[in-house]
Amino acid sequence: MSKKNQTVMLRKEEINRKWLILDASGKTLGRFASEVAKILRGKHKPGFTPYIDCGDGVVIVNAEKIRVTGAKEAQKVYRYYTGHIGGMREIPYRTMKSRKPEFIIRHAVEGMLPKTRLGSKMKKRLRIFAGEEHQMHTQKPTKVNI
């Protein structure tokens, strides 16, 4: 039996992580978030193993410069429930973008990650900054264009 077509399954010890810097300025929200989710999961690597957290860390800068297409800027709404009767709260996209631009990208990316303990580990390697400055110099991130 030949070994040329065997599937590679990584172990935890074989994973080497990198940190990547992605610039969100001028990018479309959904397309950008799906690329970030792919990197966090590790699907961009040839040795992707679904049951192991083999993804890289992501630093996103310029979160306030993300854009949406069509009428989403006027129609998109973020909802949460306070737990009280009549406690449904709605925040329009424009208000959320001015208050917490990091939340917009985080919300989109977390929706594309698994809702398991594995997904929780992946979310911890996502760092989002509203402006150009970031505090992740210790990780020596490399700048990547998407």
Q: What digits encode the pLDDT tens for the residues 15-35?
A: 999 999 999 999 999 999 999
Write down the pLDDT at residue 1: 54
Cβ neighbors of 139 (< 8 A, separation 6 or more) are 19, 57, 59
Percent of the chain, pLDDT > 90?
88
Mean pLDDT of 40-67: 95
CATH placement of domain 15-67+97-144: 3.90.1180.10
**36 vs 2 pLDDT, higher one:** 36
Beta strands in 41-129 (DSSP E): 57-61, 77-81, 88-92, 126-128
Which H or E run includes 124? none
- Flag whether pLDDT at 73 surpasses 80: yes
Locate the domains of the chain by residue range.
Answer: 15-67+97-144
- Flag whether pLDDT at 7 surpasses 70: yes
pTM of the model: 0.91
**Are the beta carbons of 1 and 73 closer than 8 angstroms?**
no
Mean pLDDT of 59-65: 97
Write down the pLDDT at residue 4: 78
With b for 16 or more beta-carbon neighbours within 10 A and e for fewer, the 26-45 pattern comes to: ebebeebbebbbbbbbbeeb
Q: Report residue 14 as tokens.
A: 């074989």
> Residue 123 — φ and ψ, nearest 5°?
-65, -30
